Structure 1
Amino acid sequence: MVVFAALALVWTFPLVRHLSTHVPGQAAGDNVSFLWNFWWMRRALASGLGFFYTPYLFVPTGTDLTLHTHTALPAFVGATMLGALPVVAALNLTIVTALILNCFCAYVLAWRITRDYGAAMLGGIVFGGSPYIAAHMNGHFNLTSAWTIPLFAVTVSEAIRGSTKWAVLAGLLLGATAYVDYYYVVYECVLALCIGGLASWEWSVAWRGPTERTRRLAKLVSGLILVDIAVLALITTTGGFNAQIGPIRISAHDLFNPLQAFWILVALLLWLQIRPRVDARRREAQAPTGMARAILIMAAVFLAAAAPLAWNGIGLFLRGDYVTQQYFWRSASKGIDIGTLVLGNPFQGLWGRAVQRVYQALGIDAIESTGWLGLAPVVFAAWALRRHLRKSNCEPDPMGDGATSRMVRQWSVIGAVFFVWALGPHLMVFGRNTGMILPQAVLRYVPVMNNARIPGRAMVVVYLALGILMAVAAAEWRLKSRGGQVALVAMAFVVVADYVPAPFPVVAMDRPAIYEMLRNRVEQGALCELPLGFRDGFGERGTFDDRVLFYQTIHQRPLAGGFVARLPRVVATAYEDDPLLAALLRLSDRRGQRNSPRPLPSAQVAADRLREDRITFVVLNRGAASPRLVEYVERVLPLTLIANEGERSLYLVLR
C-alpha cells in the first residue's frame, strides 16, 4: 500500500501541494460537477433532503439526479469521514484514495493468480497507472474509481464455485459500483458472464473448411467484392455518380456505405472458406446448479443494495423522464482509434504533449479514443499468452493443476472481448472511419447497455487483463531466472516511465468575494447567474460556466440552470415555456440564437416571472455576457445593484 500511495501522489503531482485550492484537469469543466456532488451530499445530509433529487439546481423546477454521474459513494465518504475538510480537499483525497485502491485491488487479483507479491504489484501498477485512468483524471472522477472491477472479479471467481459468502460479497460490490458509476455496473455484469462462462465450459473453435456449395457461394461473393471495389474506385476518382436501374435510383457520392458493404462481403467470404464452428463442453468440476445459485444470490443482493436507484429509475421511466442516447447508424460515439496503439501515450509527463499534437492533427479524442497499452506490458503479455497456449502439464505452475494456464487463457479472452467492445461501432484507423462494422454497432441498441454509450471506456477491463498477463510473465521470469528480482524492478521502471503523467494539470478554484457577500445576505431566494445556461451529456443551452457550480458551494443558494449528466425532458420544457428564462437563454447564447425574432419580456412580465421563479439575486458577468444581455439586464429587469467585483455585478431583485 505504501508503494501504491507513493505512486498515486506522483501520478497526481503537484496536486498534493494544492489539496484545498485546486482540482485535477486542464480547465473548469466536468471536474467541477463532481465537486458539486460532494457539496450537495453534505447539504442533503445536513438538511434531511434526499440526495437523488435536488431543488438547488434548475430553479424553479429542481431536477432528478438518478441518471446523473452522482458519485454518491465517494461523495458520502467526503461528507462523513472527510466532512471536517473543505469540499475541495475532500474531493481530492477521495481521488488519490481511489488511485491507491485501483492499484491495490488489481494487485489482490493478480496475487490470487500468481502467488507472487512482486509480480502482483506490477500488475497493480499496469491497471492503476494506466493511460485510461490518467485520461479520466482530467475531469471524469467517476471513472477513476475503477477499484471495484478487480475486486468484483475476485469475488465472482469464488462465488461461481458455490460459495454463498462470496456471492453476497459480489452482489454488494456490484451494488456499491452503482453508487460510483453506471458504466462499471454494465462492465462488471459482462465480466461476470465471461468469468462464469469460461470457468464452467471448455470452449474450442474448429475450422471445417469449404464444401462444394460454399465454394460456389464464395465465387459469387468474390464477384460482388470486385464490383464493390470498382464502385469505391469510381467514387474516389470522380466524386460519385447517380444511376438508374429500372425503377431504382442509385446515388453514390460517399465511400462509407460501399466500405461497409466491402467489409461485410469480406467477412462472409472468410466464413464460407473456413466455416468456423464453436464448441462448448461443460467442465465436470463446475456444477450448473452452483453457478445458477451464485448468480441468483448476486442479483438479489445487488437489487437490494441498489434499490433506491432502481426505484427512482422506475419512477423516471413511468413519468417519461428516462433519458438515454438517441442512436443513429453513422453518428454514434466513436471507440478507440486502432492507430493509437502505436502513437504513444498522450498523457506521459515528458512527451505526452507532442503525442497530443499528433492526435489533434488526426482528429482523435485523446480522452475517449486512446488505446495506448505500453510497450513492456504488451511484450510480456504476449510472451505469457504464447507460453501458456503451448505449455505442457509437467511445467511448474504457481497455482497448480494447470490453473495458471487456464487463468491466462481466461483473461486473454476477457481482454479480447472488451477490446473489441472498446473499438466502437466502426473501426477507426488514424482518425479515418474504415467502415468496418463491429459488434458494438448492434450492442448500443440493447436496453440498459445503451447507457454505456462511449465504447472506449471498456478499455478499463482491457488494462486489467493486461496487468494480469504481465504479472504472470513477471512471476515466471522470477521462478526461472537468477536475476528475476532485477528483471522485475526493470519491468516496473519501464512501465512507470511509460505511464507516469506527472506533472499533472490542476486548475485553481477561485473564490470571488462577491459570493461570500451573497451568502451573508438575509434575503431568501435563488440566484440567477448571467449569462444563463444549462448542460447535460448531450448538449448545452445558452452559455453555461461550470465554475458557477463551485461558486454555489460558497453562496449556498439555489441556482437557475446547472449541469446534470441526463436532464429530464420536463425540466428542459419548463425552461423553454418560461418567458423570462427562455429569453435569458437566448440572450446568453453566443452561437446565433441571440438574434431570435421572438420578443423579450417586458419589465412587468420579467418582474412577475422572477417572483414566480423565486429568484432573488442576479450576478451579471460582463466579461462573458453579450451587449444585448447587458442592456436587457440594466434597462428592463427590476434590479438594484449591491456590489461590483471585477467584471461581476451582484443585483437584488426588487419586489
Structure 2
Amino acid sequence: MVSVVAAAPAESAEPPVASPTGRGGASWRPHLLVAGLALALAGWVTNGLWQDPAGHVIAKNAGDQAFFEWLLGYGVYLLGHGADPFFTDLMNAPVGVNLAANTSITVFIVLFAPLTLLAGPQISFATILTLNLAAAAFTWYLFLHRHLVRPPAAAALGGLFCGFAPGFISHANGHLNWTAGWVAPLVLWWVLKLPEPRRWLRHGIILGVLVAVGFSIAAEGLFFTALATAVFLVTRSVLPGCRAAARAALPTVLAGLGVTAVVAGALLAYPLYMHFAGPQTFSGTGFNQAHYAEDIGAYLEYPTRSLAGWLGLGSDLAPNPTEETSYFGLPLMALTVVCIATLRRHARPGRFETLMALYAVGAVFLLLSLGPQLKVFKDTTGIKLPYAALMHLPLFDSALPGRFALVVACVIGILLALTADRLLTEPMPSVGEHTLWAAAFAVALVPLFPLPVLTGVRAPEPAFIADGIWKQYVSDGGVLTALPFATTDTADGQRWQAYTMARGGRQFRIPDGYFLGPGGPEGVGQIGATPRQTDWKFLRAALYGEVVPIGDYDREQTRADLAYWNVQAVFLPPQVTGSQGPVFRAALEITATDLFGEPEHVGGVLLWRIRPGIDPVARGN
C-alpha cells in the first residue's frame, strides 16, 4: 500500500541528511536560513497586530479573533479551576457550549496558558498566528528536503509557497486552526515512515499522538490531510511499478495503522464522544456549504492581500476575505500546467508513480473545492458536481468545500519544488532555458507576495473589567453581560470575559456568545444562540441604530429573558467594537435606559443592576 517511502529517496539520487557539523550531509545553515526567512515573513504578515496587540484587531474577522482569544483565556481558567476542556457553561448561559464541536484548539490553549496568564490572550493570539505561518513553511521545507528534492533552495521554494500560499494568508485573518499548516507535513512524514521494517510500533505510537494533536488543533484540516494521503497512496499503489512493493509493505503498514488507531482512539475517546454525542452538539455546520464553495474563476484571479492586489488586481469572488483559498493567478496556473507536463516528460522510474499520485490529489481536491454546483465568475450554473453527492455524508457535512483548495495550494508548492529540483540538478540544453524558467517563476510568484493582514482599532478594555470592579456587582459564577450581547458581529462582551479568565480568580458567565451550536434549520448547527427578544432588540439597536418605543409587553418580555439567563448586571462601555462597521452606541444607551431605568456610572461604564437586592459591599472582591 505504501511504497513511496522506499522509492522517494531513490528518486532524488541520495537524499540529503542533515548534520549539525556539516560533515557527511547537508549543514544546518540552510535550515536556519529558511527558518529565519519563514519567521520574518510571518512577522511581516502579522505586524499590524504586533504594533498594538491589545488595541488592534483583525479588520476583516474581529469575531473569530475574539473567539480564539476567549479560548486562550479559557485555557488559563481550565488549568486553574479544573474545568472541562470540551464543555463550558461560562458562555451561552444557562445551557453552555460544546467546545469539542467547535474549533477548540485544546493543545494551544494549554501549551500557551503561561504566556496568556503573563501577557494576556492578545499576545498569545498574535504569537500563535505568527508561529503557525512560520512553522508551516519550515516544516514543509524539511519534508520536501527529506523526501523529494535535494537542493535546499528547491525545498525552500516549495515550503515557503505551501506556508504562505494565498489561501493561508487569507486564513491568517483570524484562524488559528487553518494557519496551523505544519500539521499536514508532520502527519505525512510519519505516514511515509510506516513501511519501515520492525518499527511499526514506534511509528504507530508517534503517528497516533500526532493525529490526536492535529484533531485538537484543526480537525477539518486533519480530515483533509487524511483524505489527500489516502488518494495519494491508493493511486500510487495501484500503478504497475508500485504494486509489488505495496503488497510487501502492506502488513507492516496495517500494523502501524492499528497502533495509530489505538493510541489516537485512547487520547481522543472523550473529545470524540463530546463532539458526536455530547450536550449541545449538532450535525452539519452553521455555514451554507454552497455559498462557501470555490468559484472556478477564482483560480485565475489574484488575492486582495498580495502585491497584485495592492496594485488593484485583486478579486471579490470569495464569500469573504477569510476564504480566498485559491486565487493563484493566471500566470501561476499556466506555470503549474507547464510544470506538470515537464515533470511527466522527464520522470525517471519511481518518480513517475509519485507524480501521477500527486496529480490525482490535485485534481480531486480542485474538483471538491468547487462545491455542489459549478460557479463561474459569480454565475451559478446548473451543472451538478461530485460534492453534491458527498455533502450530507459524515465529515463532509461539516466541511466547507472551498477550503479543499488549500490542498491544491500544497500540491502546487510540491510541483514548484520538484521543478526547481530538476532545474538545479539536471543539465539544461541551453543557458537561455534557465533564464526562461526563472522569468516564468518570477512572473507567477512575485505578484503573489503576501501583504500584512489588515487591522483596525478596537474598543479598549474598560476599568470596570480590567480593575475587577465587576466583582462588586456579580456573584462568583453569576451572569453579567455587556451591551450589545456577545455575537460574531459584536464580540466585545466575549473579549471582556476572556481577559478576566486570563487573570485567574473569580469568573462571571455571559449569555449568548460567538460559537457553533444547535438550533439551525432541519437540525443542523447555527452560529451562536437562538436570539430572544431582548438580545435581538439590543443587536438591532447596535447594528442599525434602531430605537423602538418600549411598552409594558417589552418590559415583561425583558424580565422573562433576564430571568432565563439569570442576569445580575448589564453594562455599556464608552466604546463598542463592531465587526461590520460603526456601532450605534447612542441607540444602545437609549434602549437600555428605557428598559432598565437610569444607569449608574461605575468604572467608566454605564451599569444597570438587575438584582439590586444583593449587597455589593458584602460580596467584596
For Structure 1 versus Structure 2, the TM-score category normalised by the shorter chain is 0.7 to 0.9
Corresponding residue to 1:649 among 571, 589, 606: 606
Secondary structure of the corresponding residue to residue 302 of structure 1:
helix
Alignment partner, residue 66 of structure 1:
100
Q: Distance in 2 between matches of 1:594 and 1:447?
A: 44
Q: Distance in 1 between matches of 2:287 and 2:183?
A: 29
C-alpha spacing 1:596/1:53, structure 2 compared with 1 (3 Å): farther
Secondary structure of the corresponding residue to residue 44 of structure 1:
helix
Alignment partner, residue 12 of structure 2:
none
C-alpha spacing 1:110/1:196, structure 2 compared with 1 (3 Å): same
Q: Decide whether the 8 Å contact of 1:384 with 1:408 is kept in 2.
A: no
Residue 456, structure 1, aligned to residue 456, structure 2: no
Q: Distance in 2 between matches of 1:20 and 1:606?
A: 34
Q: CA deviation at 1:161?
A: 5.2
Q: CA deviation at 1:148?
A: 0.5
Alignment partner, residue 196 of structure 1:
233
Q: Distance in 2 between matches of 1:352 and 1:300?
A: 49
Residue 551, structure 1, aligned to residue 496, structure 2: yes
Alignment partner, residue 347 of structure 1:
305
Q: Decide whether the 8 Å contact of 1:26 with 1:138 is kept in 2.
A: yes
Secondary structure of the corresponding residue to residue 179 of structure 1:
helix
Residue 337, structure 1, aligned to residue 289, structure 2: no
In the TM superposition, 1:571-610 aligns within 5 A as 582-586=533-537, 588-589=539-540, 600=553, 602=555, 610=562
C-alpha spacing 1:344/1:88, structure 2 compared with 1 (3 Å): same
Secondary structure of the corresponding residue to residue 608 of structure 2:
strand
Q: CA deviation at 1:433?
A: 1.1
Q: Distance in 2 between matches of 1:391 and 1:495?
A: 22
Q: Distance in 2 between matches of 1:350 and 1:607?
A: 54
Which range moved further: 47-56 or 375-384?
A: 375-384
Residue 294, structure 1, aligned to residue 256, structure 2: yes
Corresponding residue to 1:96 among 130, 133, 140: 130
CA deviations 1:79-119 (Å, max 9, x no partner) are 13664222211111111111111101111221111122110
In the TM superposition, 1:398-417 aligns within 5 A as 402-417=349-364
Alignment partner, residue 416 of structure 2:
470
C-alpha spacing 1:323/1:48, structure 2 compared with 1 (3 Å): same
Secondary structure of the corresponding residue to residue 527 of structure 1:
strand
Alignment partner, residue 16 of structure 2:
none
Q: Percent identity?
A: 19
Alignment partner, residue 185 of structure 2:
150
Which range moved further: 46-55 or 547-556?
A: 547-556
Q: CA deviation at 1:363?
A: 7.5
RMSD across aligned C-alpha pairs, in angstroms? 3.8
Residue 564, structure 1, aligned to residue 521, structure 2: no
Residue 105, structure 1, aligned to residue 139, structure 2: yes
Q: Distance in 2 between matches of 1:504 and 1:327?
A: 23
Alignment partner, residue 450 of structure 2:
501
Corresponding residue to 1:183 among 204, 207, 220: 220
Which range moved further: 182-191 or 522-531?
A: 522-531
Q: Distance in 1 between matches of 2:176 and 2:347?
A: 44
Q: Decide whether the 8 Å contact of 1:335 with 1:424 is kept in 2.
A: yes
Q: Which amino acid aligns with 1:650?
A: L
Alignment partner, residue 619 of structure 2:
none
C-alpha spacing 1:426/1:650, structure 2 compared with 1 (3 Å): same
Residue 168, structure 1, aligned to residue 126, structure 2: no
How many residues align? The count is: 550
- After TM superposition, the score normalised by the length of structure 1 is 0.74
Secondary structure of the corresponding residue to residue 562 of structure 1:
coil
Q: Distance in 2 between matches of 1:436 and 1:366?
A: 26
Alignment partner, residue 194 of structure 2:
159
C-alpha spacing 1:30/1:463, structure 2 compared with 1 (3 Å): same
Q: Distance in 2 between matches of 1:120 and 1:641?
A: 62
Q: Distance in 2 between matches of 1:598 and 1:144?
A: 49
Residue 124, structure 1, aligned to residue 159, structure 2: yes
Q: Which amino acid aligns with 1:105?
A: T
Which range moved further: 192-201 or 134-143?
A: 192-201
Q: Decide whether the 8 Å contact of 1:528 with 1:615 is kept in 2.
A: yes
Residue 47, structure 1, aligned to residue 86, structure 2: no
Q: Which amino acid aligns with 2:417?
A: A
CA deviations 1:291-313 (Å, max 9, x no partner) are 33233222222212322311212
Alignment partner, residue 444 of structure 1:
391
Alignment partner, residue 529 of structure 1:
482
Q: CA deviation at 1:625?
A: 6.3
Q: Which amino acid aligns with 2:211?
A: L
C-alpha spacing 1:103/1:567, structure 2 compared with 1 (3 Å): same
Q: Which amino acid aligns with 2:449?
A: V
Q: Distance in 1 between matches of 2:549 and 2:250?
A: 65
Q: Which amino acid aligns with 1:531?
A: P
Q: Decide whether the 8 Å contact of 1:576 with 1:582 is kept in 2.
A: no
Corresponding residue to 2:270 among 296, 308, 313: 308
CA deviations 1:539-579 (Å, max 9, x no partner) are xxxxx51122222234553212211123478999x9879xx
Alignment partner, residue 616 of structure 1:
568
Q: CA deviation at 1:152?
A: 1.3
C-alpha spacing 1:94/1:631, structure 2 compared with 1 (3 Å): closer
Q: Distance in 2 between matches of 1:517 and 1:320?
A: 33
Secondary structure of the corresponding residue to residue 383 of structure 2:
strand
Q: Distance in 1 between matches of 2:401 and 2:359?
A: 19
Corresponding residue to 2:461 among 511, 530, 533: 511
Q: Distance in 1 between matches of 2:280 and 2:609?
A: 37
CA deviations 1:358-389 (Å, max 9, x no partner) are 42xx6864432542225665455434422332
Corresponding residue to 2:373 among 423, 426, 432: 426
Q: Distance in 2 between matches of 1:28 and 1:392?
A: 47
Q: Distance in 2 between matches of 1:128 and 1:501?
A: 11
Q: CA deviation at 1:149?
A: 0.8
Q: Decide whether the 8 Å contact of 2:101 with 2:274 is kept in 1.
A: no
Q: CA deviation at 1:55?
A: 2.3
Secondary structure of the corresponding residue to residue 322 of structure 1:
coil
